[in-house]
Structure 1
Amino acid sequence: MSHSAPQPIEISASDALKGRVTVPGDKSISHRSLMLSGLAVGESRIEGLLEGEDVLATAAAMRTMGVTIERSGDGIWRVWGVGVGGLLQPGQALEMGNSGTSTRLLAGLIASHPITATFTGDASLSKRPMGRVIEPLSLMGADITASPGGRLPMMVRGMNPAVPIEYTLPVASAQVKSAVLLAGLNTPGITRVIEPVATRDHSERMLAGFGATLTVEPTNRGRVISITGEAELKPQDIVVPGDPSSAAFWAVAASIVPGSEVTIANVGLNPTRAGLFTALHMMGADITEVDPRTVGGEPVADLIVRHAPLTAIDVPPDLAPSMIDEYPVLFVAAAFAQGRSVARGAHELRVKESDRIAAMVAALGACGVVLEEFEDGLAVTGTGGDPIPGGATIASLLDHRIAMAMTVAGLHAKAPITIDDAAPVATSYPTFFATLEELQGK
């Protein structure tokens, strides 16, 4: 899954974007659907699974550990699970490509099974630190050997039976929380995660949906999530809502390109994920929710987004956990707002697929945007709706969200913007550029 041949692409200023799009299935839910279906006893069906490289890496890893996964011609994925505790010793290294979610969550699954697995990844993933998940899983008894700096390649030797722990998250991380909860599934007793700052709650919702005994209790220490181990999960029929992180690019694009009106269908609006839309509303974006509904326990709606003048804001730091993946495209929106936007409290951006703060400073700065960099965020001085200068070649740094965010920026730039490598976009949104052409009427 490594991207050997760069795929540069040039983005020029666009006429109004018009039309209706359906974004790929939610990446977080897709990963968890495959993992939990693989631990259920019997056949689960998944509709709307994101078929990007990251999720396919999860599917491949689960197959390697004995789970039968098939995709039928109607796009439905069927998974025959092996039961909690039933994962088999993989016969080869688990190749994670660019997927940090796959790596951290699967490490949690394996930590309480009597198997050993080696995780490998591409150049980008191999730079990302895994220490934050190594610590709690080691406390549960797993023997984890990582490369220098707590990086991939990494070998995880599971402990069975593992030791239940009570673990307070030192940083807001849904991946670390989920890894511990998944390890707790096959651990005798009750495993607890204390979350001082709430993060996306897909794991809690899905674990409960599959029949795990799980409680969530608000306390003065934060949310206390408790899971009872040695669970028996029941197979499910899952409908994956559209990924709000993918929808974010069209919401910002329609907001900044004059004359645009885009309907984004079936967007998951879980409140632990919808911070970007809250921030855009604060900036004056014209976003209307249509047909709000609940699908598979997740709130969903269609969004109609029309071009509107944006005004700079101070982004509330408590929004950070609910929009951590959307900051790159929020910085793009801020580049076209009236005034100086400030976004702080996003330390996590430093350890994503790239250092997304530094990456966006370099990218937007090269395109003539005035910025101030902080350790935990950015200040962006906008154009008041005018095009940015553009005319630069941008390093995507093997980061799909940098590539897509700067594509959006190029849609309202005076001179074309070149993305040095658009290939990483396939990790989360394989049809992104085709969808852009449809909205442009090409």
Structure 2
Amino acid sequence: MSQTSPFDRPKTESADLVVEGGRSPHPAAARSVTVPGDKSVSHRALLAALLPGAPSRLTVRNANLGGAVRALLPALRALGYRITADPDSLVVERGGPVVPQERRPHPDITHWPDDVPYLETGGSSAAARLLIGVLAGLGLPAVVDGDEVLRHRPMSWLIEPLAQLGADIVHLGEPGLLPVLVRGPVHRPGTVELTVGSAQARSGVLLAAVAAGLPATLRHPVRSRDHTERMLAAFGADLTEAAGEVRYGGGPVTVPPVIDVPADPSLAAFPAAAQLLAGDGELTVPDVCLNPTRLGFFDVLRRAGADIRYRDRRTGSSGEPVGTIVVRGGTGGVKEVRVDDPATLHALIDEVPLLAVVAATLPGRSWIGCAEELRFKETDRLATTAGMATAFGARIETADDGLLVTGGAPLTAGRVPSYEDHRIAMAAATLATSLPGRTTVCGGACHRTSFPDFAAVQRAVGATITEVIQR
């Protein structure tokens, strides 16, 4: 393996996804497909290499190699970690050469701090927020930045709680946004109140406390993804959880030399949805993370009548429950879906565009609520989901905090926008597999951000999807 790998060179061409629909993508015989490792667990596993108690060489097996995870690798190299990659794993080693990153120009900054590392994380909010937390815990001064989109996403959710624990973090541009300079560590034990249900905010503060060995209590308004808590508990962290809070008692953790990343349930949702839309046969997706805070898409559809089951459950090395998702039959008899509470919304927050297009094929009026946070993703995902679904002919209305989908409208293939948002693109292409004719998802190759193998996985279950380079 070499330090420079093909995974560090994202494709720069703009490409559409072209889907030839109208034929069942799944024959009646059972099919099985695998999907890449979980993006959220991959981020946390890579950052575990920075924690006190981590081995000098950490192997992360089955890491997600999409653009969002790869965005973290140059930042780690700029901190002096050697990263090597092959199709099955990423290896992070201390003591590598420091590989500085080029500073991204900023209209309000003429003089960057030149005595600390500059760490640019592309468009990955998880990479930026979790990295800020670890740096604040370790007391490592650095500038953390992102691309032009990430620079407009809120960071105060994280920075303010870290400041309550004593961290000295300065916004170099507009208040509340990237870039930020981490100048001083967290050093005051205490209790912080998180104002949002974001798992990234909670994880960033928790990682800071663990990196510093600092006792802290985090109170949060809603239960969301708990990958950080599960992973740190597997490392031996003194964690206790109660309704609305998690407590870390201080003390060391021990990071194992190998962390196995389970398959991503958010990615498994796409072939599962294609199976439901096809209407027959059986599909299995093995080795998937079955964390309850990630299964909202499947659980909501199960409650609506879809035949979706979990089997072969076990616990993986990252502390996550792992098993096989089984999808049988189609949407016949499946009624409208409802998402009425924040916990359910957070358990399917990345699958809202996909759930919306599936809902467009169901009878009745479906509601996906408590989703105001989606207005601050890579795009305003309430608006872009509605725009994409409307291009197919779906009847969908946006509210301040959700989407109202009226099923039964005739859906047709055609040209639909992706808004260069990977979740929107993949939802559109999945719906298109069930519609007669050709659908072009404009800019749909942005799926590489989280699911580089999206087209290949859908083809493996019978869909006809190709990428066409825009000239």
TM-score, normalised on structure 1? Answer: 0.89
Post-superposition shift, 1:25?
Answer: 0.4
What residue in structure 2 maps to residue 313 of structure 1?
Answer: 337
C-alpha distance in 2, partners of 1:211/1:287? 34
Secondary structure at the aligned position of 2:133 is classed as: helix
What residue in structure 1 maps to residue 223 of structure 2?
Answer: 198
Query: Equivalences for 1:226-305 in 2 at 5 Å?
Result: 226-229=247-250, 231-296=252-317, 297-305=319-327
Pick which of 267-276 and 56-65 moved more. Answer: 56-65
Residue 392 (structure 1) aligned to one of 405, 415, 425 = 415
Instruction: Check 1:159–1:341 CA distance in 2 against 1; reply closer, same or farther (3 A cut).
Output: same
Residue 78 (structure 1) aligned to one of 91, 97, 120 = 91
What residue in structure 2 maps to residue 50 of structure 1?
Answer: 64
Secondary structure at the aligned position of 2:412 is classed as: strand
Post-superposition shift, 1:235?
Answer: 2.7
Secondary structure at the aligned position of 1:108 is classed as: helix
Q: Is the 8 A contact 2:151 2:177 kept in 1?
A: yes
Post-superposition shift, 1:113?
Answer: 3.3
Secondary structure at the aligned position of 1:33 is classed as: helix
* Root mean square deviation of aligned Cα: 2.4
Q: Is the 8 A contact 1:11 1:411 kept in 2?
A: yes
C-alpha distance in 2, partners of 1:441/1:334? 20
Q: Is the 8 A contact 1:38 1:80 kept in 2?
A: no
Instruction: Check 1:37–1:209 CA distance in 2 against 1; reply closer, same or farther (3 A cut).
Output: farther
The CA deviation string for residues 157-208 of structure 1, in whole angstroms up to 9 with x for no partner, is: 2313633331122111110000101111243641111123111111011112
What residue in structure 1 maps to residue 73 of structure 2?
Answer: 59
Letter in 2 for 1:313: V
Post-superposition shift, 1:217?
Answer: 2.7
Instruction: Check 1:149–1:13 CA distance in 2 against 1; reply closer, same or farther (3 A cut).
Output: farther
Instruction: Check 1:74–1:418 CA distance in 2 against 1; reply closer, same or farther (3 A cut).
Output: closer
Instruction: Check 1:14–1:51 CA distance in 2 against 1; reply closer, same or farther (3 A cut).
Output: farther
The CA deviation string for residues 224-263 of structure 1, in whole angstroms up to 9 with x for no partner, is: 2122446343334221111010011111111112335322
The CA deviation string for residues 107-148 of structure 1, in whole angstroms up to 9 with x for no partner, is: 111123333322333333233222211211233322221532
Letter in 2 for 1:245: S
Secondary structure at the aligned position of 1:406 is classed as: helix
Letter in 1 for 2:43: H
1:176 aligns with 2:176: no
Gaps of 5+ in 2: 1-8, 96-113, 465-471
Q: Is the 8 A contact 1:392 1:417 kept in 2?
A: yes
Query: Equivalences for 1:5-404 in 2 at 5 Å?
Result: 5-18=13-26, 19-39=31-51, 40-42=53-55, 43-71=57-85, 73=86, 75-80=88-93, 92-139=117-164, 140-148=166-174, 150-152=176-178, 154-160=179-185, 162-187=187-212, 189-218=214-243, 222=244, 224-229=245-250, 231-296=252-317, 297-306=319-328, 307-309=330-332, 310-317=334-341, 318-383=343-408, 388-394=411-417, 396-404=418-426
What residue in structure 2 maps to residue 423 of structure 1?
Answer: 445
Q: Is the 8 A contact 1:354 1:399 kept in 2?
A: yes
Q: Is the 8 A contact 1:186 1:230 kept in 2?
A: no
Q: Is the 8 A contact 2:149 2:378 kept in 1?
A: yes
Instruction: Check 1:404–1:284 CA distance in 2 against 1; reply closer, same or farther (3 A cut).
Output: same
What residue in structure 2 maps to residue 86 of structure 1?
Answer: none
Instruction: Check 1:230–1:80 CA distance in 2 against 1; reply closer, same or farther (3 A cut).
Output: farther
Letter in 2 for 1:398: E
Q: Is the 8 A contact 1:113 1:186 kept in 2?
A: yes
Post-superposition shift, 1:54?
Answer: 1.2
Letter in 1 for 2:414: G
TM-score, normalised on structure 2? Answer: 0.84
Q: Is the 8 A contact 2:412 2:435 kept in 1?
A: yes
Tell me the percent identity: 36
Post-superposition shift, 1:44?
Answer: 2.9
Letter in 2 for 1:151: L
Secondary structure at the aligned position of 1:371 is classed as: strand
C-alpha distance in 2, partners of 1:78/1:90? 28
C-alpha distance in 1, partners of 2:277/2:144? 41
The CA deviation string for residues 246-295 of structure 1, in whole angstroms up to 9 with x for no partner, is: 01111111111233532212111101111111111022212132322222
Secondary structure at the aligned position of 2:384 is classed as: helix
The CA deviation string for residues 299-333 of structure 1, in whole angstroms up to 9 with x for no partner, is: 22212213232311322324112111111111011
Secondary structure at the aligned position of 1:24 is classed as: coil
Post-superposition shift, 1:53?
Answer: 1.4
What residue in structure 2 maps to residue 411 of structure 1?
Answer: 433
C-alpha distance in 2, partners of 1:188/1:287? 42
Q: Is the 8 A contact 2:117 2:141 kept in 1?
A: no
Q: Is the 8 A contact 2:82 2:92 kept in 1?
A: yes
Instruction: Check 1:79–1:425 CA distance in 2 against 1; reply closer, same or farther (3 A cut).
Output: same
C-alpha distance in 2, partners of 1:228/1:341? 43
Pick which of 36-45 and 331-340 moved more. Answer: 36-45
Post-superposition shift, 1:63?
Answer: 2.6
